[in-house]
Chain A
């Protein structure tokens, strides 16, 4: 355990020193600034709904708030994925090729401990980032339009878990692939998951069972997407009537709830991916 703590500290320090962390922080600041500006303007625009006889029945603050926060959650997942990939894409093969890994691996702590420590450090940074960014965007939405999501803690935790899953996939990939190849592969997986989710939303709007089925299978195979979908659903899960219907037809409203099996599935998925990474790392020639 002492060795684990030492490497977690080492990896945390490395994470925070990486240039990509500074870049993500700058991008985050720009994103939050633009989000505050856009949210403020959007809430001013939808205030006119009250004068429209057709839209009078719509809760304009819920419609705007849920849609904007849904968009912010997409941004959060994307930035979280960038951070997750860049913190973990080179952990094994990339670091071995640069000669950073060998001095650590020959120490008595063991390869599995080293891998677990690197994962824990990256997961801690990425989860804190995703949850923090979600909280910041929810706060901005409340500041601009006095709207608060129906559930707060669940989507925050699910977004954090989604980027932790991406961390694990990237860590697993780093055992087999060079840093660049792994980074590209994980970003493609993230893209594939998001496209799968969008397909599901389209299928939901068109009432296409096939599309919904494909999207559901894809989101369970890549559970960061299932977590993201469930988080999206939970921010407006208590909306009903015309507002609820419009939200479900919107770009972030067709998200499906995942149900109670998601948490154990994600835990098992992380454990299985971690075990695979440890198994192949233990057998790898460096």
Chain B
């Protein structure tokens, strides 16, 4: 089965500016991949190329095996733009009905009710977009992206307007989608969110992939801390595997051990190191 999203040597140039420089990226079936990077790194451009809003200058992009932008590719994906708006006089239910018809979905009222329930808007199904808060509109946008049960979901900053409760709703939704086998490319500035839910993380900087891997792979050992009766003992060069030996040596030396912590870099530290100069 082809990857849900695959880019090969993807390049995009806006006049003299190189927005993407040979990006290689793959999102497997049912995989949840986080796309990170500073402003201007090329994240939104990459997503827009995948959904057919922007034409690539070079390279290749496929969605479920079909060329990005083709009718087949567009029928396979759901998309939430960073900046989007629905007509203000449409109710939540009408927005979804419109997109069902455009997507050729036969899910009917049952699908609309399910999607509104997933994003916590079932009680607001008859409320017009104009009468919704920004956060509610964003959740409606996510529901719209899920119309027609797409195999690939591309979310560009889906939680930027959400409060903590709304973010948790979206996190649960992403986990639910993963369980259903939907592939997700999540473009977000919120590293903690990406770290919590994503199977893999890709960091873009200056139009190139500067780091990629699972959150575990991207974080590295930063020593072991042991709290003893005589105070905190630090072993900065030790790894997780060294911890039992160190504890045994301390106990043998008569120390009382209260807590052992294996320290690792956070995704934020890895990110800042990867994007380096631009972040500073």
State the A residues within 8 Å of B (CB).
2-3, 6-7, 10, 14, 17, 98-100, 102-110, 283, 285-286
Size of B's binding interface in residues, CB under 8 A: 26
Residues from chain A with a CB closer than 8 A to the CB of B98 are 6, 10
What are the 9 tightest A-B residue pairs by CB atom distance, in nearest-first order?
A107-B102, A99-B84, A99-B85, A99-B83, A108-B75, A286-B53, A285-B54, A102-B81, A6-B101
- CB of B85 within 8 A of CB of A105, answer no
Residues from chain B with a CB closer than 8 A to the CB of A283 are 55
Residues from chain A with a CB closer than 8 A to the CB of B74 are 106-108
Within 8 A of A (CB), among B239-264: none
Residue among A2, A99, A106 with the most chain B CB within 10 A? A106
- In the assembled complex, the Cα of A17 lies from the Cα of B86 at a distance in Å of 14
- In the assembled complex, the Cα of A158 lies from the Cα of B24 at a distance in Å of 56
The verdict on A17 contacting B85 (CB below 8 Å), with A6-B98, A10-B98, A106-B51 known, is no
- In the assembled complex, the Cα of A150 lies from the Cα of B159 at a distance in Å of 65
State the B residues within 8 Å of A (CB).
48, 51-55, 71, 74-75, 77, 79, 81, 83-87, 89, 98-99, 101-104, 141, 144
Q: Is the interface of A mostly helix, strand, loop or mixed?
A: helix
CB distance from B140 to the nearest CB of A (A): 11
- CB of A286 within 8 A of CB of B48, answer yes
- CB of B71 within 8 A of CB of A6, answer no
- In the assembled complex, the Cα of A99 lies from the Cα of B85 at a distance in Å of 5
- Find A103's partner among B71, B81, B89, B104 (CB 8 Å cutoff): B81
- CB of A105 within 8 A of CB of B87, answer no
Residues from chain A with a CB closer than 8 A to the CB of B77 are 106
- In the assembled complex, the Cα of A106 lies from the Cα of B98 at a distance in Å of 13
Chain B, Cβ-Cβ closest to A283 = B55
Residues from chain A with a CB closer than 8 A to the CB of B101 are 2, 6
CB distance from A50 to the nearest CB of B (A): 56
- Find A107's partner among B54, B81, B99 (CB 8 Å cutoff): B99
- In the assembled complex, the Cα of A10 lies from the Cα of B141 at a distance in Å of 18
- In the assembled complex, the Cα of A99 lies from the Cα of B101 at a distance in Å of 20
Chain B, Cβ-Cβ closest to A110 = B71
Chain A, Cβ-Cβ closest to B87 = A14
CB distance from A1 to the nearest CB of B (A): 12
- CB of B102 within 8 A of CB of A105, answer no
- CB of A285 within 8 A of CB of B53, answer yes
- In the assembled complex, the Cα of A17 lies from the Cα of B104 at a distance in Å of 25
Residues from chain B with a CB closer than 8 A to the CB of A286 are 48, 53-54
- Find B103's partner among A100, A107, A110 (CB 8 Å cutoff): A107
Residues from chain B with a CB closer than 8 A to the CB of A106 are 51-53, 74, 77, 79
The verdict on A103 contacting B103 (CB below 8 Å), with A14-B87, A108-B71, A286-B54 known, is no
Residues from chain B with a CB closer than 8 A to the CB of A99 are 81, 83-85
Residues from chain B with a CB closer than 8 A to the CB of A2 are 101, 104
Residues from chain B with a CB closer than 8 A to the CB of A7 are 102
- CB of B84 within 8 A of CB of A102, answer yes
A-B contact pairs, 11 of them (CB 8 A): A6-B102, A17-B87, A98-B85, A99-B81, A102-B79, A102-B81, A103-B79, A103-B84, A103-B99, A106-B77, A108-B104
